[in-house]
Amino acid sequence: MSKSRGTVKVIALGGLEQIGMNCTAIEYGDDIIVIDGGLSFPEDSMLGVDLVIPDVKYLKDNIDRVRGMVVTHGHEDHIGAIPYIEKEIQIPLYATRLTMGLIESKLTEHAIIDDVERHVVSYGQVVKFGEISVEFIRTNHSIADSAALAITTPAGVIVHTGDFKVDFTPVYGETIDLQRFGELGKKGVLMLMADSTNVERPGYTPSEKMVGITIDHLIDDNRGNRIIVATFASNVDRVQQIINSAYKYGRKAVVDGRSMVNIINIASELGIISIPGNTLIGIDEAVNYPPEKLVYITTGSQGENMAALSRIASSTHNKIRIVPGDVVILSSSPIPGNEKAVYNLINELEQKGARVVYHDTHVSGHACQEELKLIYALTKPKYAMPVHGEFRHLKKHAELAESMGLPKENVKVMSCGDVLEVSENFFEITGKVQTQGIFVDGLGVGDVGNIVIRDRQHLSENGLMVVSVTIEKGTGVILAGPDIVSRGFVYVREAEALIEECKDIVDEVICFETGRGVTDWNKLKAAVKEALGEFLWQKTKRSPMILPIISEVDY
């Protein structure tokens, strides 16, 4: 049963049983807030799709109660869908400085920045949304200005960690505010929603500064070589350390990749990244320096086709060419599913004579098991709802929560769309809302659905056969055709006998159907597709998409 008024509802619109598309609604009484508005990148089966964003139908249906969106940090899987969401529902945004700077860049790109209400918040600040209030708590992650959230409702306090790690020697800013987590725990935390990404890894996540030391050694050991470092554009701390190492060894840093340039500009304006004088030069200036005096900082560490490093590897970059002796450092780990693309990139670079370094050049921005245990020990939650991860991560996280003393019935492994209601004496899934991801394809948002994707898969696997026929109105006599065009199925010139047999079958089907009085074009097309499909399967064991085009003329 539901206890709506006395409970707080938690509804994940994305981010569960998947990596990315993080978006969660918190609801109490007449007030709803949204945590994050992230996107995910398409799976291999989502042919032609550029992005996948959360379905915000539930928010749209309850827009009169939605008070605002609070954002934990500036990664794409937490902010990438915000422009699309704002076009659907205009809600105020609340975020820290760098996070807001990155969001504003996206809103500007979508030409809606003047339409969106924005508020920059600081750590420790409490924002009130009716009966819900949210406090931003300092954390560490692989991007600066990350925050956890303490969400206070009449039903109790929910702590949402966002993406986090415990870094005692951060490159920028201070360490995670463990004291505040402890204070909340002493007062009483109703439920903890913690990052599950690294829950399978024992121990602690190393400090970001460890990568800086490694890069320092690599630049020192390769003084006679040009160096190219690829990393995530959003990892401002990593970029800072690369620039510091370049300066230390008398090299110029060259930034390449639109997203990298954009984020460095925003971070520099906010004072979050500091560039020593005359260290950073434009890519066109690089020709004025010997190769061994340059460090290129690029995007594309995940093997993305259009990113800078992939274009360099394939010799399609208009400014940079790989030459034997170049040292390429991949300062990231492959995202699950990207391994093949990354290793193909490494092979391509090494075939051109580069030496690729990809071991011990990255540390994660997510908490491992001992850091998660620390947060549980400090907050002492009554309930736990693991977030941010695939099912195996969420399940492992549930086991970790139980190892910290939570009863099994006080931990829920949720799916997107589940409505969890929680209060001091109530902890149940009481409903389900629509949460199917929305596909973004070019300028189209939501106009590509599962049927279109299935057609694209069919076309990619089996090809297309177009059958064109012109018939006389009234009599059904064939005046022209059948003409057959094949794309991705068989090469017509090498399969003339098969094509002729196909024409004969189409001719027979149409004559038979029109001879018994069938004049409905849809029925004629269906008959052609069925007969031709059965014939082609028997002959080739393939099932191309068959597209009959029947024209009718008054002859």
Query: Active-site positions?
Result: 195, 366
The C-alpha atoms of residue 105 and residue 113 are separated, in whole angstroms, by 8
Both structure tokens of 216:
């320092």
Alpha-carbon separation of residue 347 from 44, 350, 351, 356 (angstroms): 21, 5, 6, 9
Element (H, E) at 454: helix 450-462
Both structure tokens of 514:
């029109």
Task: Using DSSP, state whether 38 is helix, strand or coil.
Answer: coil
Give the residue from 12, 80, 8 showing the smallest Cα distance to 394: 12
Q: What is the DSSP string of 74-113?
A: --HHHHTTHHHHHHHS---EEE-HHHHHHHHHHHHHTT-G
Radius of gyration of the chain (CA): 29
Find residue 135's DSSP bridge partners: 126, 150
The C-alpha atoms of residue 83 and residue 379 are separated, in whole angstroms, by 34
Burial class (CB in 10 A: 0-12, 13-18, 19+), 333: middle
Residue type, 416: C
What does the buried/exposed string (b/e) look like for 106-139 if buried means 16 or more CB atoms within 10 Å of the residue's CB? bbeeeeebeebeeebbebeeebebeebbbbbbbb
Task: Using DSSP, state whether 420 is helix, strand or coil.
Answer: strand
Place of tokens 């006998």: 497
| CB-CB neighbours of 457 under 10 Å | 13
Give the residue from 50, 53, 48 showing the smallest Cα distance to 18: 53
Residue 286 has what DSSP assignment?
Answer: G
In sequence order, what are the residues at sequence separation of 6 or more whose Cβ sits closer than 8 angstroms to the Cβ of residue 471? 477, 478, 479, 510, 514, 550, 551, 552, 553
Alpha-carbon separation of residue 4 from 65, 82, 156, 393 (angstroms): 15, 28, 14, 29
Contact call for residues 160 and 387 (beta carbons, < 8 A): yes
In this structure, which long-range contacts are made by residues 525-529, counting pairs with CB atoms below 8 Å and at least 24 apart in sequence?
525/550, 528/467
Contact call for residues 451 and 217 (beta carbons, < 8 A): no
Element (H, E) at 503: helix 496-515
Both structure tokens of 220:
């020192």
The C-alpha atoms of residue 448 and residue 46 are separated, in whole angstroms, by 10
Q: What is the DSSP string of 219-248?
A: HHHTTTS-EEEE--TT-HHHHHHHHHHHHH
Q: Can you say whether residue 48 is alpha, beta or left, with left for phi > 0 and alpha for psi between -120 and 50 degrees? A: left
